[in-house]
């Protein structure tokens, strides 16, 4: 078994935000994606080396909660749309997170001043980028980033998962072609089995070491 988790699309190795290009642009849909409204996702810093503290990489996965089993790996994938965000999207594997810890396990171990420093850097990177490529999205995006920075007074943090860097098998170039790969292509966490997919997708998943 494995968990399936969607990350927002990123064209800079998940080290810094890359702007709204190639993300969903379904802002008029009844199921509006965060990335469509704000032009970014908290996951875009998933592999940012600055967000490392005492041997752990700190990151964010939407929908991840304490109810998930820490012994089950997470298959991370993304949807890459056309540059304007329209039409259908390619499903791409981002990587496999083999061992990980939820924020409920380590929250007290990450100093608030470290998170505050990381937030200031994230704010600068996101603000400068959106000012250049999508100024209309910048005000709301900055409010959302601030909202996440105010955890635990707000429900969602900037970081909700940590892992040793060697536990992330990063393979962002691998294309998955399977319509049932994610339920409605949402950002909800799903528990899956390799056997639930067609033969072609099963081969891709087993090559990733999933079973």
Cα separations (Å) of 10 from 19, 35, 60, 79? Answer: 8, 11, 14, 10
Distance CA 7, CA 5 (A): 7
Task: Give yes or no for a contact between 39 and 23, defined as CB atoms under 8 angstroms apart.
Answer: yes
Mean pLDDT to the nearest integer, 32-48: 91
The burial class, CB within 10 Å (0-12 / 13-18 / 19+), for 189 is middle
Residue percentage of the chain with pLDDT more than 90:
69
- Using one digit for the tens of pLDDT, what is the confidence trace for 162-204? 999 999 999 876 666 545 566 556 788 999 999 988 888 888 8
179 phi and psi angles, rounded to 5 deg: -65, -25
List, for residues 63-106, the tens digit of each pLDDT value: 899 999 999 999 999 988 876 656 677 888 899 999 999 999 99
User: Any idea what DSSP says for residue 183?
Assistant: G
Question: Model's pTM, two decimal places?
Answer: 0.92
Residue 30: band (very low, low, confident or very high) from pLDDT cuts 50, 70, 90: very low
């Amino acid at each position: 078994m494995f968990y399936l988790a969607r990350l927002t699309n990123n064209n800079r190795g998940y080290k810094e935000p890359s702007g709204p290009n190639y993300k969903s642009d379904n802002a008029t849909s009844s199921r509006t994606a965060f990335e469509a409204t704000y032009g970014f996702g908290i996951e875009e810093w998933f592999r940012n080396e600055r967000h490392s503290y005492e041997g752990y990489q700190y990151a964010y996965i939407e929908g991840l909660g304490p109810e998930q089993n820490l012994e089950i790996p997470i298959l991370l994938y993304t949807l890459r749309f056309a540059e304007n965000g329209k039409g259908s999207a390619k499903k791409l594997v981002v990587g496999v997170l083999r061992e990980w810890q939820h924020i409920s396990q380590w929250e007290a171990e990450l100093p608030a001043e470290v998170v505050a420093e990381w937030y200031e850097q994230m704010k600068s990177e996101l603000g400068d980028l959106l000012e250049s490529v999508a100024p209309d999205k910048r005000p709301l995006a900055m409010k959302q980033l601030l909202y996440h920075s105010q955890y635990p007074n707000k429900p969602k943090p900037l970081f909700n998962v940590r892992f040793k860097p060697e536990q992330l098998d990063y393979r962002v170039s691998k294309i998955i072609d399977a319509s049932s790969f994610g339920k409605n292509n949402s950002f909800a966490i799903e528990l899956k089995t390799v056997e639930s997919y067609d033969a072609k997708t099963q081969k891709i998943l087993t090559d990733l070491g999933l079973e």
